[in-house]
Each structure stands twice: as C-alpha cells, then as structure tokens.
A and B are shown apart, each in its own frame.
Chain A
Amino acid sequence: MRNPLLSIGAALVLLLAVCAATATWIAPYDPNGQDILARLSGPSAAHWLGTDNFGRDVASRILAGLRVLFAVSSVSVLAALLLGGTIGIVAAWRGGWTERVAMRLMDVFFAFPIILLAIGVVAVLGPGVIGTAIAIGVVYTPIFARSLRAPARLLLASDYVEAARATGAGTRRILLRHLLPNLAPVILVQASLSLSTAMLVEASLSFLGLGTQPPTASLGRMLAESRAFMALSPWPALFSGLAILVAAFGFNLLGDGLQDRLDPRLRGRS
C-alpha cells in the first residue's frame, strides 16, 4: 500500500534542495546583475521567468532566494528540534514537577499566535537573517517539545523499555538504543511539517521587511518589492510567491505522507 503522494513530496523536496544548494552554479544570471534595457519583461527565451523593475533575472533571484529560505528554515527548525526535543524527552523521563513546569512553560509560548511571537522576537533582536532564524527557532521549540513528549512517555512505559531496565541497561543505552530509534518517525514527520510552515513564517517576516535584509535575496521581500509594479508586470510577484508555495507544499506533502506510514500507536497523541 504505497502512497504516491509521499513519493511526490519527497521528489519535490529533493529537487528544490538540489536547486537551493547549487543555486550559485545553475542560475543563468547574476541575481543582482541588471539588464536595464529588458526591465519588467515577461517570460522569454533569454529570461525564463522574466525580469524585475531593475532588469534583474527573476529565475536567478528566485534560486538565490530559495537558497536563503532553505538555509534559514532548516537551521532554525533543526535547532528547535534539538532544544524542544530535549525538553520533551526530559519532561517525559523525569515526570512529576519537572514535566509539569516544562510543559506549562511550553504552553505559554504556545499561547502566542505564531506570527506574533516571531514578530516579537524580531522586534527584540532587530530585523535580519539572524533575528529571523532565532524567531523561527523560538516558535518551533514548544511544538517539538509537545509532539515528542507524548510518544516518549508511551515508549518509556512500554514493556521492552521495562525489560531493558530489568536487564540493567543504563540511561544512555535506553535513550540511544530504545527511545530515539522509535521516536525517529515522529521526529521526521514533525520536522517535515515544521519546515513547511517555517518557510511560510520566514517569507511572512521578509515580506513585512523584518526578515532577510538587502542585498541578500529573499523570496518574501521580492514579493513585497514587486507589488509596486504589479500592474505593469505581475510576473515577479507571481513567480516569487509560487516558489514559496511549492517549497512549503513539498515539505507538507512529505510530512503528511510520512504521517500515514507512521507507527499507528504513536500517531496523533499529543
């Protein structure tokens, strides 16, 4: 019973990741190079996705923006996974007050609408790539803590962990041999879905002018800047948004498909 959507999602993610990683080499033009005579031209053989108001090649700028989008969201989601995952697992392991206090603290972060929390963090740290990355990390930490605590608790109470303890396995062994491998599917699903929405958060912040600052390419800011001349040429706005959509869609499809194949005992309990 294979799910074709899972394969499509995986292929899409892989394709975009390769494009993002090799953006510098495969981009047909310098993303900041200007071809003044070909300003605001539509898609053509010379410029596949057209040019913007400075005559810069839209396709090359999208590739460069994709690279930043991937870098910022994956670094910050990874950091959130490490921090939030640790909090969730330690909470499940220790139980009692540790668990209660840790989870209440996560509830506080959860209470903020995502964008608002991210805007708050950027307001404190100042606009820019670093501020955006930390903001996304802060937003996703409680999400990982919550989604890993429940399955970690289930696993820790299971017979085989009990058996491992009975045979004298230490904390390290239980953690590395029994807990983490069994949590891997949950981690994969959550990381994939989080990457999808983290990309939308990054794009939103950049769109508001709070994220990546010029001259670094950014899909969100590209969309914001191209709105001014949308009536003359809708292409830059159309394609930059479409790139954000495709990237977020790929990760979401992947996470959604993985969730279906996930161990049913660990599914949907949070």
Chain B
Amino acid sequence: MIRAALARLAELAVVALGVSVLVFLMIHLIPGDAAQVMLGADDVGAAQVAALRERLGLDRPLPVQFARWLWRAVQGDFGASIWTGRPVIDEIAGRAGITAELTALALGLALLLSVPAGCVMAAMRSSVSDYAVRIVSIVGVTMPSFWLGAMLLVLATTLLPGVAVIGYVPFDDDPWGHLQRLALPALALSLPVLAALSRILRAAMIDSLGQDYVRTARAKGVAEWRVVAVHALRNALIPFVTSAGIMAGYLFGGSVVLEQVFAIPGLGRLMVGAIAERNYPLVQAAILLATLAFVGVNLLVDLLYLAIDPRARRGSAA
C-alpha cells in the first residue's frame, strides 16, 4: 500500500514539474515581444517596454528565468499584476475559494444523487431502459452547462420573481443568501456530471451484480438491499471513484464558464478579465494553481482507490 502510494506520488511530482514548465513557457510562446504585447498600444515608449522586460526578468537566459520563477512560486510569490501592481497571489486568493466552493457543491450534489440513481437503474435493468439511460446520459453529458444555467435563470426569474439567484454574497454576511445564489449554478454544473457518473455506476453495478460473490451472498440468505448496497456497490465504486477525480477537473472548467452566467466573482471571471488586459502573470498563476489543485485531487482519488481495492495494493499497481 505504502509502496504503491509513494510510486504514484513520485509520478505526480514529475507531472507537476512538467505542468510548471509548460505554464512558465506560456509567456515565451506569445508571438512577438511579450513585454510589448502586454503593454498593448503602439505608442508605449521603448523605455517602458524595456522596464517591463527587466521587471519580468525576460532579459535573462531561459533556464535562469525558470529557476527564479519556480523558486519564487514555491514561496507563494507569482509576481505582481501588470496593471494594479498588487501581488497576483492576493488577487487569486480572494477569488479561488468561490470557484472551489461552487465546484465542491456541484461535485457533492452529483455524487450524492448518482449513487442511488446508478443503483436503482442497475436494479431495474431492461432493454428499453438500456436505451433510455443511454440517451438521457448522453444528452446530460453534451448539454453545455452555461446554456443550462442561462435557461434555469430564465425559468427562475419567471417563476420566482424577486428572489435573488445571481451574484454573490459572502457566507458570513448572509448564509442563506449565499447558498441561495449558488444553488442554480451548482445545479447547472452538476447535471452533466450526474448523468455521466450515474451511467458509469449503473454499468459497474450490472457487472458487479453478475459476479460469483453476489450469487454466494444471495445463496447464504443476505437480504437483497444488503447485497446491492454492500456487496455489489463496494466493487462497483472502483471505476466510479476513478472517474469522479476526472470529473472534478471537468467541473472546475465548467465553473469558470458558468461564473459568467451568474455574475459570480470567482477565478473564471478573474481569468477572463486578465486575458482581456493581457495580464499574463495573473493568468499564469491562476492556471498553475488550479491545475496543481486538480493534480492533488487526483492523487487523493488514487489513494482512495488503493484503499477500496485490495488488488491494486499488491503487485505493480499499473
């Protein structure tokens, strides 16, 4: 168990380093002179461009730049915003929590509903329901969540006039208003994932219910609900948990887009604004931190997988 976990940790450390290199290179892949592009207008003096280039360290050799950037990043220093001069990390810190909360709410909702949905759909299996499940889940997966959000918004404002469903208030100021405003985006965000996860769990449950150990459990007189909820579900959760990790990244991306629909001041809006202003240090830091968080979530999922599946603990967990 420990060995397999450490091997995975080493693998992800390499990936994390690769991610950092790639994000670092972003600024160097900009066509043309990065400092000039960031300052935009053509009438900016050459002195100003040179000053920015020096401030960003763009005049040094690439490996030196990377080492310096990484060393500072590890200490939480991602540079200053090109426009406000504030440390980038401070601008992100205030926003990331909101996006993380929305992502977590949507994932929680999807996990909570997909387990019973998947089990019930597996138990009620028939050839007609096979098709129905397939169509519904594909519609769910291919539904643009920002469109679903917009449509829910139209419905909510028509059916519940006067109820605030967009915007954002901090939890400490107004806990109820806070949740009320996050309810619709969380719902819109979770539906595609709910559809995908229910289908995965249903398939795994059908597979698992056909196994010998389920037959044995039934033969020795274990109650049917126990057979489904304990014996079959535990095994079926393996592919489910693995995909839930991937879904976390998907949800995060969806949240970045949905914030635009519901006027939520999260990381997504910050990033889109930063791209428009060509504020690259901010964009770099946001992408790096979010991706590393996602890598961390996947590590957790892998560890969870090792805990659930005894087979993965032995041998070469590949």
Please list the residues of chain A having a beta carbon within 8 angstroms of any beta carbon in chain B.
Answer: 4-5, 104-105, 107-109, 111-116, 119-120, 122-127, 196, 200, 203-204, 207-210, 223-224, 227, 230-231, 234, 237-238, 240-242, 244-245, 248-249, 252-253, 256
B-side contacts of A240, CB under 8 Å: 147
Whether the Cβ atoms of A119 and B134 lie closer than 8 Å is no
Whether the Cβ atoms of A207 and B260 lie closer than 8 Å is yes
Whether the Cβ atoms of A227 and B283 lie closer than 8 Å is no
**Interface hits, B140-179 → A, CB 8 Å:** 141-144, 146-148, 150-151, 153-154, 157
- Smallest beta-carbon distance A117→chain B, Å: 8
Q: Is the C-beta of B222 less than 8 angstroms from some C-beta in chain A?
A: no
A-side contacts of B78, CB under 8 Å: none
- Smallest beta-carbon distance B85→chain A, Å: 20
Complex CA–CA separation, A227 to B252 (angstroms): 22
* Dominant secondary structure at the A interface: helix
Complex CA–CA separation, A179 to B251 (angstroms): 37
Whether the Cβ atoms of A230 and B153 lie closer than 8 Å is yes
- Smallest beta-carbon distance B46→chain A, Å: 22
Instruction: Kindly specify which of B61-69, B107-115, B286-294, B305-313 makes contact with the partner chain.
Output: B286-294
- Smallest beta-carbon distance B38→chain A, Å: 11
Q: Which of B141, B142, B249 has the most CB of A within 10 A?
A: B142
- Smallest beta-carbon distance B308→chain A, Å: 20
**Given the contacts A104-B14, A104-B18, A108-B15, A237 and B150 also touching, CB distance less than 8 Å:** yes
- Smallest beta-carbon distance B131→chain A, Å: 6
A-side contacts of B148, CB under 8 Å: 241
Whether the Cβ atoms of A115 and B254 lie closer than 8 Å is yes
Whether the Cβ atoms of A207 and B15 lie closer than 8 Å is no
**Given the contacts A223-B146, A249-B138, A111 and B257 also touching, CB distance less than 8 Å:** no
Complex CA–CA separation, A4 to B276 (angstroms): 46
In the complex, which residue of chain B has the Cβ closest to the Cβ of A203? Answer: B144
Instruction: Kindly specify which of B26-34, B51-59, B86-94 makes contact with the partner chain.
Output: B26-34
